[in-house]
A and B are shown apart, each in its own frame.
Chain A
Amino acid sequence: MKPIVVSAALAGLTLGAAQAQTMPAEITEPVTITWYNYNLASAGNGADATRHLIDLFEAAHPNIHVEGVPVPPQNITTRVQADLVAGQQVDLVQVTFNALGFAAEALGAHALEDIVPAAELAANFEGMVQNGLDLGRIDGRTYALAYTFSTPVLYYNADIFRQVGLDPENPPQTWAQIAEAGRVIRDHSDHIPLASGMFGPSAGDWLMQGVLRSNNGGVINADRTAMTFADPASLEAVQMLRDLAQEGILVNLDVTSQLESMAAGNAAMYLQTSAVQGYLIRGAEGNYDLRATTMPGFGDLRPRPNNSGSGLAIFSQDPARQRAAWELMKFVTSNEGYTIITRDIGYLPLRMAVVESPEYLAGWVSEHPLLQPNLQQLSYLEPWTPMPGPNYVQIATTMMDAIEMAVFGDNDDVAGILTAAQTQTQGLLP
């Protein structure tokens, strides 16, 4: 009797292991999956569109029921972590890219290459923006399929530009031009010359990464083993921001005040994620002429923005639920999915066919020029590099505290502040 039980258990184990490698080709039994989603958590912004996506998906896949779990974006990793700890079923998660490393290394998100048949994966990647796909990869493996994302753009108030004698048809393209325009705005109006979303607890390091990288610096090296935000090129970029702050061009307000200043028409320029576009449009309507251009660069160097946004990661252990989650992933990142996401939420489409084909959004895009700089940056978008190891949050926080202090603080020793923080965060790397 005993040997039979043992061998049966062994067979079960090997069978389980084999199934973990390959998900079933289709769902034949009813299955319920959970979808941890932060758009569902924001009442007016994306919740309805996301529910609409789920409804369409369930109609097309009668055997799959999707249970949406709304979680605010800043809480998504802690919530997933808490639910995994509590033994809850976690299947598909909308992960912000700065948490991607943690999701993959600590929380156990699956690399799609491990669970999805190679041919199917290749077929779905067909037609998707390559830079976008890279956002969800670590060491060449796809832990999250890029889903909703946006790029940093420079919004500007064309009315203020005209009022102080600047040309709204030629907005600043470099930081030097921003400084120049900023001085004119500072001297000839009461408006805030340059607001931004670079600093603040909820900002993280996403915008700063792009600013430093645009000067060929960076916050961390390519294989994520050394912090580099105090290296010469990064230092130069931070020093430039300090000069702007000292001149009274770049202001230090909390994130919400900066957004509200721009929306209310009190700020002339505003460097921030394109995801606030909807909010700004509502503020500008009937109030002022809101325009946007690409993120500024340094001299002749091409700006190197990174995204803000999220990818979808699969956490299911059960092969059938993995298949169901993969089906949902395919659906929301299809042409139909991105048509809804871009038009109704305001994120960028990851398939260019959506904005090029009249069948989808070509007409809509031509009516909404604010989307243009955002689309343009898609072709040279770079990944938002997650900080490695268990101290990833502390590394980013310590670094951003130091950079903020170097830009706005009373101490002129930018190099000293950054070098001290770099040494310290270096010690927190795994």
Chain B
Amino acid sequence: MSLASVAPRHGPNRWSRLNRLVRPYLYILPAIATFVIWIYEPLARAFVLSFQQWNLMPTAPRRWVGLENYENILALPRFWQALENTGLYLLGLLPMAVLLPLAIAIFTQDLSGRTRNLYRALIFVPMIVPPVVAAAVWRWMLDPHNGIVNGAIGALGGDPVRFLSDPHLALWTITFITGWKLMGFSTLVLSAANASIDGSLIEAARLDGASTWEIVRDIRLPLLSPAILLLVLMVILLGAQWSFSYIHVLTEGGPLGSTTNIYYLLWQFGFGSLSVGWSSASAVILFVGFSLIAALLFWLKAKLSFHDD
């Protein structure tokens, strides 16, 4: 009897507790499901496929080959060349995508409103040019025979420079184009961060007799550090991908493989031959490598960032 009278009271209680417990998970379920379906499940599949030899044909057998795909890729001189090139791309991109925009953002800060906007708009324009169009324009400008750049070099008495067909130059040419394209974006991010710095801090420093350089070094740079580190992180993790369209349109990885990078190689494995084992294996290598780098960078970012709280 007493049990019966107690039960209805317990019911809603237990329900509401369960409800409280489960509800948050229900809210994030769609997000988790999307992650699982579109990221983790394919990732797991790529991992499995990297140990198989298969050409995507349902009629073709999937053959387990163990580590053979990895061995083949690691034995490929072009793989190591691509890895080295990826490092060179990042090395070349950092000054163009971080240092130069930082300087531009800081120095244009003191310009008057209209000039500053015009200046920044000019820098931002390359960002909105479609990559393939930009690549085609650069190809014309850099042409050894009819290009405007070599025209200028010729007028100054120099020999034509083979910007895209000299194996020692081509990578830097593509790095420059990628950086030129990125500069607007970085400048925008850093200008916004710079503008949000509390003016009273700078005012106070001025009253204390700090020079412009001292203000930049001791106030602006520390307060800009989260934005700078974010850009460094983005360039390192994504920079090599951003050069993909320029590599594809301008050099297709040549001459002598000097402009290929790890993403371009991956794409060539995957779509040049539909060899799903090779491309999955290189994707796994890439995933593991960049996960480690990303972990390191996030640790650095947390350690080095300075927040004005």
Interface size on A, residues (CB 8 A): 35
Q: CB distance B252 to A200 under 8 Å?
A: yes
List the B side residues contacting A404 at CB < 8 Å: 254-256
List the A side residues contacting B268 at CB < 8 Å: 397
B273 is contacted by which of A200, A252, A394 (Cβ under 8 Å)? Answer: A394
Give Cα distance in the complex from A253 to B165, angstroms. 6
Q: CB distance A397 to B272 under 8 Å?
A: yes
Q: CB distance A200 to B57 under 8 Å?
A: no
**CB-CB nearest in chain A for B58:** A85
Interface size on B, residues (CB 8 A): 32
User: Using an 8 Å CB-CB cutoff, how does the interface string of B276-305 with A read, 1 for contact, 0 for none?
Assistant: 001000000000000000000000000000
User: Using an 8 Å CB-CB cutoff, how does the interface string of B152-178 with A read, 1 for contact, 0 for none?
Assistant: 000000000010110100000000000
Indicate if A176 sits at the interface (CB-CB under 8 A): no
Indicate if A408 sits at the interface (CB-CB under 8 A): yes
A409 is contacted by which of B252, B256, B273 (Cβ under 8 Å)? Answer: B256
List the B side residues contacting A398 at CB < 8 Å: 76, 78
CB distance from A306 to the nearest CB of B (A): 21
Indicate if A107 sits at the interface (CB-CB under 8 A): yes
Give Cα distance in the complex from A302 to B308, angstroms. 80
Indicate if A257 sits at the interface (CB-CB under 8 A): yes
User: Using an 8 Å CB-CB cutoff, how does the interface string of A253-265 with B read, 1 for contact, 0 for none?
Assistant: 1100100010000
Give Cα distance in the complex from A189 to B272, angstroms. 40
- Count of CB-CB pairs between chains A and B under 8 Å: 79
Indicate if A201 sits at the interface (CB-CB under 8 A): yes
A408-B255 contact in complex given A392-B273, A424-B75, C-beta closer than 8 Å? yes
Give Cα distance in the complex from A257 to B164, angstroms. 11
Q: CB distance A254 to B257 under 8 Å?
A: no
CB distance from A82 to the nearest CB of B (A): 8
List the A side residues contacting B57 at CB < 8 Å: 81, 84-85, 106-107
B274 is contacted by which of A81, A257, A266, A397 (Cβ under 8 Å)? Answer: A81
A254-B255 contact in complex given A81-B56, A106-B55, C-beta closer than 8 Å? yes
Indicate if B241 sits at the interface (CB-CB under 8 A): no
Q: CB distance A78 to B271 under 8 Å?
A: yes
A201-B273 contact in complex given A254-B165, A398-B76, C-beta closer than 8 Å? no
A424 is contacted by which of B76, B145, B253, B271 (Cβ under 8 Å)? Answer: B76
Indicate if B194 sits at the interface (CB-CB under 8 A): no
Indicate if A427 sits at the interface (CB-CB under 8 A): yes
Indicate if A168 sits at the interface (CB-CB under 8 A): no
CB distance from A99 to the nearest CB of B (A): 10
B253 is contacted by which of A201, A266, A402, A420 (Cβ under 8 Å)? Answer: A201
A200 is contacted by which of B78, B254, B272, B275 (Cβ under 8 Å)? Answer: B254
**CB-CB nearest in chain B for A202:** B252
Q: CB distance A252 to B75 under 8 Å?
A: no
Indicate if B59 sits at the interface (CB-CB under 8 A): yes
Indicate if B7 sits at the interface (CB-CB under 8 A): no
Q: CB distance B164 to A254 under 8 Å?
A: yes
User: Using an 8 Å CB-CB cutoff, how does the interface string of B52-90 with A read, 1 for contact, 0 for none?
Assistant: 010111111000000000001001111000000000000
Q: CB distance B72 to A428 under 8 Å?
A: yes
Indicate if B243 sits at the interface (CB-CB under 8 A): no
Indicate if A393 sits at the interface (CB-CB under 8 A): yes
Indicate if A42 sits at the interface (CB-CB under 8 A): no
Give Cα distance in the complex from A393 to B77, angstroms. 16
User: Using an 8 Å CB-CB cutoff, how does the interface string of A401-426 with B read, 1 for contact, 0 for none?
Assistant: 11011001100000000001100100
Besides A394-B273, A404-B255, A424-B76, 8 other CB < 8 A contacts?
A81-B55, A85-B57, A106-B60, A252-B255, A253-B165, A393-B275, A394-B278, A408-B167
Interface residues of chain A, those whose CB is within 8 Å of chain B, are: 78, 81-82, 84-85, 106-108, 200-202, 252-254, 257, 261, 266, 390-394, 397-398, 401-402, 404-405, 408-409, 420-421, 424, 427-428
A-B pairs with lowest CB-CB distance, top 4: A393-B273, A201-B252, A253-B165, A78-B274
- A and B contact pairs by CB, cutoff 8 A, 8 listed: A82-B274, A200-B252, A253-B162, A257-B165, A391-B273, A402-B77, A409-B167, A409-B256
